[in-house]
Structure 1
Amino acid sequence: MKKNVKYLGVAAAALLAVAPVAVTGVANAATIQVQGGTAQPSATQGTILANLTATNVASLKDGSNADTVAADLSATLNGQAITPKVFGDNKAYVVPANTTDYSVTNVKNVAVKTLKANTEYKLVVPQVGFTGLSTDAKANYTFNGGKLTVDPYGNSNVVPVVSSTFEIAQGNAYFTQNNTVVSGTTSIELGSVNTVEALASKIQGEVVAANTGSLTQSNKTALESQIKNALANAGVAVNANGSFVAPVTNFTVPYTAQFPNGSSATINVIVKVTSTTPSEYTDNGPQFALTANGEKVITRVSDSKYNLSLKQGTNFNANDLVKAFDVTFSKSNGAKLTTATVVSNNVNTAVPGNYQVVLSATNPAGVTNKVVVNVTVTSNGTTARTVKYVPGYNVFAWTINGNRATISDTKYPDGATVTTEGEGVTVGGVKYLKIANSDLYIQAQYVDGSYKPSTSNKGEESVSGVLTVKYDGKGKVGLTDANGKYTGQYVSKNSRWKVFAKKTINGREFYRIGNQKQWIPAQYSELAD
């Protein structure tokens, strides 16, 4: 009895016998990575699309062997991934881009072994087929726009798959300036450029990175980073928005161009600052100003002197004081310097006493300024202090309610001893220390040695007598400083005060009833001898 025998065609037999996923070691063939999919497609009709792609073009070089090309082969049936089968000689050949005959014989004849720069190629897999298709006699498939034949066992006929064209754009990196090749070091003018992004554009626009192939290089990120480093080395801080103030001397930016094929070149670009040292650099030199956090713990006495009070045993690091200040180039230039430094520090918080920390900053013009932070370490209990005012005169105590300080009738003569407690409070920019065992406060300047009697009473006329506060409104009368600015100090209606001088401030007449921060408008005063 005869056995039932199914005879396979040549193409079908080849499909069943060979199903490679990668091919290497052939001089004019690419390595193929086959993408898998559904083992048994269910559709009885539809469109099969195959895609062949060279995946490592950017790394290929002039003179590379064709077998260094990496290829990816995938296929879909009605959008569903299926597995293509590479058979025959199992190769993806690199052929000239103008090749149109994809027969095995012709592809082998025209396939290249060595890649050349600036030349277009494409990949060809001459024999690709598909298995597991429908055996239904009515099954109907198209492949890349053409009819696909399927045998009674679900195996398709073999067809060529062709990639898009690609180019080996390989060469050596170099730079040109004014259409002339430059190397090593070159220069440009900074001009009015004042941002990192604009300077990067200017460098790339004038010192053009090129490649003997057709590759281009346009990424500015690395160059902008190199510019920031160069400015930092020149002592110039870059603001958050990328702006900066031109340094006073030329600076060098190392510019590296990196191309996709791995070639690179570096050139040092000297950025020339054509102007002489701007006056804004030398105008009083670097300026120190307390930050918002610094103002919470440090008191400004003058541009160069500050006070800080610490409790005995407090952990203290002088470098933390640097963070309490913003330092700018000069009075007329608000650009920030990178940092200040600690010049000297003798603070010992284990022992109550008076200490100093000196901070210094230098701007790019070489101008240096320093500030002194007087640090008072107080004992954990009360502190006996000596009133230091003007011989023969008194200092008044104050009451404090919230953010209002009001002068009281209690007074302490110059040289008297006052015992204070706590770290004190600041009202209207004036620091007050609480007098122990009372509800009164005394201005810190009169007991910490910071008060200096005025040596200039410009515009004042000496007056003697007693003044009575006359005010018909609600509340109390506010006092001003010698410039007419309210100080946060107040005096009560009908209270009486000794008068020392009178002065016209901003067109109004005032009487001084204490120091230069204690002037009362004459309109609220009644003066008697």
Structure 2
Amino acid sequence: MKKNIKFVGAAAAALLAVAPVVASTTVASAATTVPVEVSGNGSTTTATATTKAVLSVSVSNVNAIKDGAAASSLKVNLNSNVGTPKVTGGKALVYPKSEVQINDGVATVSANAHAVSTLKKGTEYAVVVKDVTLSGFTADQKGVTVNGKDVKVDTYGNITTPTTVGAYFTTPDTSLTGEPYVYTKIQQGGIKADTVVSNGTVSVAADGNNKVSVSSVVDAITKNFAAQAAGTATASFTNVEGDVNSALNAASIPVSNGSFTAPASGLFTVNVSVLANNGKTMTFPVLVITNGTNLTDSQKALYPVITYNGKDLSQPSATVDASGASFANVALNGSVDTAAIKNAFGAKVVTNDGKQQSLSVSVDTSKVNTAVAGKYPVTVSATNANNNTSKAAFTVTVGVAGATYKTTAQAGDVYSLNGNTATKTSETVNSGASLATFGTVTIDGTSYTIINSKNSGKAVLTSLFTSQKTTEKTIMHIAQYYDKDGKKTTLNGKNTVGAYNKVTVYENTVTINGKKYYQVAGSTVYIKATNVDPTSRTLGHNAYIYNNKGKRVQKTTTLKKGSNVNTYGGAFSIKQNGVKKAMYRINKNQYVKVANFK
């Protein structure tokens, strides 16, 4: 997870410990990456023999910067993709961009340059980080080089290098007018180039092993779409690769070495972040279809051909602009007209004797929630006798036309508004949902965004449209799933998650019925915080450590009276010499008797 480093005065705070890069939609400018190759000829090095540490410096919170704001209001993020050697330390300063040159990722500051203490709107700046420390080596190890130069490892196994890294950013000029928008760069299906669109669809082919590269998804999005803003403002996509990786993570699609296996559904949605230089932002949802491989013409002939209004679509995957069709708009709380869809779409195969044969099509509307206005994907598919399937996807709009569509960055509840009260309903929205919105209201200090229609009386928390940090937790005590009211529920058909499993949750806890819970990322399900976070307890007696069979482990270790020990969850009943004893878990397969605690 990113660590946010906040400036302290005109000088800068020491940077916190560095963690792996996590994509963020709030980064105001692309990070500058700096390769630092560390190599050593010693055989006893703790760090690997050849390690490439890629550092990146980025800035966030720029949208909150006003004319004359102090540099201390800016946040700087220093990240690394390396576990060994570790990257720590450093000082961060802000200079006018004209005073800094960044070549091959190394920043050089002019001799007479002075760090700034206040920021001006519309001005370009550079963030410079100095005195980065690499640690994890053997003390006084010889033959280590950084950036091709010999460096000295100190007696603590550290290298402190004056190498500077940096990132450029521009504070927004809020006097510029116009909201950002997205337009098509090339003709896409029935949509002409230079057409303003509120959502998009791209098709990306998998290879023969059903693998898709992240870069191919990024290329497909940037090839087909671009951002702009009205008036004198300009806009751009901030971090498409990061947005794609975030989308894959939200869809539970693992990425390895820059590629992933095409999901069973054949599609997922990427919420592309757009930033204008007047500080205004938006998200642009792109439906990514991954069905189908790089097929030759003869291989394509083995797949059925799906038609739309009598015209053949490419197989095995295609996207369709159906915005003008009657079934493309669905009334709130209405139903999708699947019969009309089947009338518009067809499928056919060519038999061995050269004749055409019609196939029935299936319509998947499982992702459409007609209770909440928004844009949703619908997939039409057909399968031939060889079990080869072709698919075509299009978008339907639920609710009132002309609404402002916003994409949720996290899952949450739907509220019913009545006067000056907001009450939770049984309805929920998922992360990545594109909702029709009609402004905001504030009740008891909390901002709600009205959905469905101006007078619907339904709303969601405005905070749902802002990305929430996630973290990975290890389950240390079997955890029951709960809903928003603290009642037992299920997730993916399971009631619980077992001990020692990894679970991604939102970073901040929530309180339900007086107890702290973590929300499982991308869902409306919760687990108790005590099942993942330790509870510190004080020993009233010396204590031994036992395993789940009641046998003593680590016979040389005795936990001393008065010491604090972290425990997880409630007590376990473990048999010891035929007698059940209450014990707390303190680590994996390690327990201490409850009676030993105060």
Output the TM-score relative to the length of structure 2: 0.24
